[in-house]
């Protein structure tokens, strides 16, 4: 046990993993989230367990990290993952020109990508287009975003050192001469506003992280960058199907339960609260999906939705949003803004949530002189349903 | 690429909706909103939360019917708010209530923990239902998929039984677990739970559970099968 109060702001996957990691290292953590847990970006993501192949050609570091973390998640949270592997398929002659360099890049990142015949690909997934010209097998999978996050929340609760408080909106960050002192939250359930004392505050608010940082007078450049996903009824494949070309829009199809989901698009928004689907996205996604799975658009429409991803770095002037870093950063505002005890975690992706937790907990422990090592890659997480033990939202 | 919100503006005509949140116990509150009919009840709740009442309590996560958090009673019937498209509802007056039979924390927010506690541990995954001749590639044990049940509580809310009864969702889960387990001791434990006095015998066979299930788990069919398999 350590006599340090930590408040984590944001009940998405990142906040869940940070809370779990810190609790495992013996710290006491209160997590606050203004709505339901995972109601921001986490719950609405595409649901792909990335082995890293998608990033291999552009960024070996991210690809390596995804491979490592996807293996760990399959071990520690198997109930939240449909693990069926994935296929990258070349649809056009131009796609085919990338095959060799794609496989090389994957192997360099430690991803066991393997070229297979198109006949074999069609045997694995008969719904694939017969027009595909090449296929590469990779270890992708499907995540249940809500239940993966619940696994981490359950792990945090099991330590007895976590207080998880959804429906608690941060309205202020209090600071004194020696750094942060507390977080003012408005409790939606009771209507009361109170201050939770904090020696350490971790801003894990995703696309809202810039707004939270402002409350402390810190400048943090986070761009809400929404994307559209489209689900049709019926499961067309078991494997994740991706287009073999440089990463772009509408080039990943993720099956999940009785659904098949194509994503995504990407644009920039100033408001992450309310995101509406742009005109044109749905016909675009249907066309893109049909190139890989020709029956996709014939299936009954299920739902289209969008959520704002958090992208770190100023992007108001850039033309190509996908060129922004997909990696994540942990910022110690004690170093950059002289606000001791405040950390922000931005960027990242669902597959690497545990690593984000580890890196952030390392930074916090280092700042506090705590030497406890990270153990979250070793232990299997408790069942997600155990999160509900002792009441829906734990000790209040 | 247009680096701003311009791209998100749609030309769709809006309609005026009167959304009534019936919190039970306190006066129902009606909010009047201009919304595009292709939006969902969840979108309407989000609009209310961010522009009219910043204390509104409701649950949501995936926005596409996979997480099961947003179930509530819409115009008298259990449904997922995220899958209830406004244009599919009759008229422009919509009443939303929290699920029945669960403690209400506030507004539409209910505590489902008792139902979850009654669910047996696992199985969360099952064999894929896709018909394929090929075995999966090396490294993939079997073609799998998540269970259909998303633990939304709709069946529990719709169930008319008032006596001691653990309810449709736990019984459907028990039946799936009984079908999948290969451990005789586990089988015995699951069966004794299903056939306890508050188990299958509590069911009146009215099938309200199957009618409202948003993911077609058909809990009523599972319970019927459990009743048949009692002596096996």
The CATH number of whichever domain residue B17 belongs to comes to 3.10.20.30
Contact (CB, 8 A) for A114 and A343: no
The mean pLDDT value for A125-134 works out to 97
Specify whether domain A85-141+223-312 bears CATH 1.20.58.1610: no
- Domain boundary residue, one of B110, B144, B162: B110
The CATH number of whichever domain residue B215 belongs to comes to 1.10.1060.10
pLDDT, tens digit, for every residue of B107-124? 999 999 999 999 998 779
In a domain, B198, yes or no: yes
Please tell me which of the candidates A36, A278, A307 has its beta carbon nearest to residue B8.
Answer: A278
Residues B219 and B138 in one domain: yes
Instruction: Kindly report the three-state secondary structure assignment for every residue of A172-202.
Output: EEEEECCEEEEEEEEECCCCCEEEEECCEEE
Number of domains present in the structure of chain B? 2
**Per-residue confidence band for A131, with pLDDT thresholds at 50, 70 and 90:** very high
The token pair at B80 is 């997922």
Residues B99 and B145 in one domain: no
In a domain, B4, yes or no: no
Residue B39 pLDDT greater than 90, yes or no: yes
**Per-residue confidence band for A320, with pLDDT thresholds at 50, 70 and 90:** very low
Backbone φ and ψ of B114, nearest 5° = -65, -40
Domain boundaries, chain A: 5-42+146-221+324-388, 85-141+223-312
Closest residue in A to B119 (Cα–Cα): A385
Residues B76 and B43 in one domain: yes
CB contact under 8 A, A279 and B67: no
Closest residue in B to A277 (Cα–Cα): B8
Q: From chain B, pick out residues whose CB is under 8 angstroms from the CB of A39.
A: 59-61, 69
Residue B200 pLDDT greater than 60, yes or no: yes
The mean of the pLDDT values for chain A is 93
Q: What's residue A156's pLDDT?
A: 97
Please tell me which of the candidates A79, A146, A277 has its beta carbon nearest to residue B122.
Answer: A79
Residues B98 and B122 in one domain: no
**Chain B window 167-206: which residues touch A at a Cβ cutoff of 8 Å?**
none
- The CATH fold assigned to A5-42+146-221+324-388 is FAD/NAD(P)-binding domain (3.50.50)
Residues B97 and B34 in one domain: yes
In a domain, B98, yes or no: yes
CB contact under 8 A, B215 and A391: no
- Domain boundary residue, one of B92, B110, B128: B110
The mean of the pLDDT values for chain B is 93
Q: What's residue A314's pLDDT?
A: 54
Q: From chain B, pick out residues whose CB is under 8 angstroms from the CB of A234.
A: none
- Domain boundary residue, one of B110, B133, B166: B110
Distance from CA of A122 to the nearest CA of B (A): 9
Closest residue in B to A254 (Cα–Cα): B145
In a domain, B82, yes or no: yes
Q: What's residue A174's pLDDT?
A: 98
CB contact under 8 A, A267 and B144: no
Q: How far apart are CA A254 and CA B32, in angstroms?
A: 37
CB contact under 8 A, A84 and B128: yes
In a domain, B104, yes or no: yes
Contact (CB, 8 A) for A106 and A56: yes
Residue B137 pLDDT greater than 60, yes or no: yes
**Per-residue confidence band for A251, with pLDDT thresholds at 50, 70 and 90:** very high
The mean pLDDT value for A312-337 works out to 65
In a domain, B167, yes or no: yes
pLDDT, tens digit, for every residue of B48-65? 999 999 999 999 999 999
In a domain, B173, yes or no: yes
Q: How far apart are CA A201 and CA A182, in angstroms?
A: 8
Residues B126 and B206 in one domain: yes
Residues B139 and B169 in one domain: yes
Q: From chain A, pick out residues whose CB is under 8 angstroms from the CB of B217.
A: none
Residue A2 pLDDT greater than 90, yes or no: no
Return the beta strands (E) in chain B as ranges: 15-21, 29-35, 71-74, 77-80, 93-97, 104-106, 109-110, 125-127, 144-146
The mean pLDDT value for A233-256 works out to 97
Domain of residue B73 covers: 13-110
Distance from CA of A181 to the nearest CA of B (A): 26
The token pair at B47 is 């609009």
Residue A339 pLDDT greater than 80, yes or no: yes
Contact (CB, 8 A) for A262 and A296: yes
Q: What's residue B11's pLDDT?
A: 58
In a domain, B5, yes or no: no
pLDDT, tens digit, for every residue of A55-102? 999 999 999 999 999 999 999 999 999 999 999 999 999 999 999 999
Q: Which of B3, B9, B45, B69 should one mutate to test binding to chain A, selecting the residue with the greatest count of A CBs within 10 A?
A: B3
Q: What's residue A3's pLDDT?
A: 86
């Amino acid at each position: 046990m350590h006599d340090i109060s930590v408040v984590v702001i944001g009940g998405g996957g990142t906040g869940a993993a940070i809370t779990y990691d810190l609790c495992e290292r013996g710290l006491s953590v209160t997590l606050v989230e203004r709505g339901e847990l995972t109601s921001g970006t986490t719950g609405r993501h595409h649901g792909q367990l990335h082995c890293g192949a998608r990033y291999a050609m552009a960024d070996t570091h991210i690809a390596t990290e995804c491979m490592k973390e996807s293996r760990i998640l399959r071990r520690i949270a198997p109930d939240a993952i449909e693990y069926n592997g994935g296929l990258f398929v070349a649809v056009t002659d131009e796609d085919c020109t990338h095959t060799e360099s794609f496989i090389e890049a994957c192997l360099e990142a430690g991803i066991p990508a393997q070229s297979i015949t198109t006949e074999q690909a069609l045997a694995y997934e008969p719904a694939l287009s017969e027009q595909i010209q090449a296929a590469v097998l990779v270890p992708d999978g499907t995540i249940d975003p809500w239940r993966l996050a619940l696994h981490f929340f359950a792990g945090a609760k099991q330590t007895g050192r976590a207080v998880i408080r959804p429906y608690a909106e941060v309205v202020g960050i209090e600071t004194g001469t020696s750094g942060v002192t507390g977080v003012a939250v408005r409790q939606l359930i009771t209507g009361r506003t109170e201050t939770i004392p904090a020696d350490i505050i971790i801003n894990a608010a995703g696309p809202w992280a810039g707004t939270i940082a402002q409350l402390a007078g810190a400048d943090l450049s986070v761009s809400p960058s929404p994307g559209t996903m489209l689900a049709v009824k019926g499961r067309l494949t078991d494997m994740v199907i991706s287009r073999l070309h440089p990463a772009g829009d509408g080039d990943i199809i993720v099956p999940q339960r009785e659904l098949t989901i194509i994503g995504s698009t990407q644009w920039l928004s100033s408001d992450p609260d309310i995101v509406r689907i742009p005109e044109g996205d749905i016909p675009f996604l249907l066309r893109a999906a049909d190139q890989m799975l020709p029956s996709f658009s014939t299936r009954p429409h299920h739902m289209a939705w969008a959520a704002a991803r958090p992208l770190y770095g100023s992007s108001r002037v850039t033309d190509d949003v996908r060129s922004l870093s997909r990696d994540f950063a942990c910022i110690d505002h004690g170093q950059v803004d002289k606000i001791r005890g405040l950390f922000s975690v931005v960027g990242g992706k669902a597959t690497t949530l545990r690593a984000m937790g580890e890196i952030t907990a390392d930074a916090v422990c280092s700042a506090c002189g705590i030497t406890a090592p990270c153990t979250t890659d070793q232990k299997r997480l408790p069942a997600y349903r155990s999160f509900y033990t002792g009441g829906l939202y734990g000790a209040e | 690429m247009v680096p701003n919100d311009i791209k998100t503006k749609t030309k769709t005509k809006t309609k005026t909706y009167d959304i009534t949140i019936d919190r039970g116990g306190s006066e129902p509150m009606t909010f009047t909103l201009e919304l595009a009919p292709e939006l969902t009840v969840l979108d309407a709740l989000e609009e209310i939360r961010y522009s009219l009442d910043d204390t509104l309590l409701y649950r949501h996560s995936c926005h596409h019917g996979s997480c099961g958090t947003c179930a509530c009673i819409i115009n008298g019937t259990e449904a997922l708010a995220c899958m209830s498209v406004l244009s599919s509802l009759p008229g422009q007056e919509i009443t939303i209530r929290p699920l029945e039979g669960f403690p209400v924390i506030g507004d539409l927010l209910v505590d489902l923990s008792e139902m979850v506690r009654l669910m047996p541990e696992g199985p969360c995954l099952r064999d894929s239902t896709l018909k394929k001749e090929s075995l999966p590639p090396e490294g993939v044990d079997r073609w799998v998929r998540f269970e259909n049940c998303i633990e939304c509580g709709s069946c529990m809310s719709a169930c008319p039984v008032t006596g001691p009864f653990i309810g449709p969702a736990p019984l459907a889960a028990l039946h799936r677990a009984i079908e999948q387990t290969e451990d005789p001791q586990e089988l015995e434990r699951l069966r004794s739970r299903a056939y306890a006095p508050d188990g299958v015998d509590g069911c009146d066979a009215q099938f309200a559970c199957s009618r409202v299930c948003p993911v077609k788990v058909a809990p009523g069919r599972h319970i019927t099968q459990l009743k048949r398999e009692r002596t096996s």
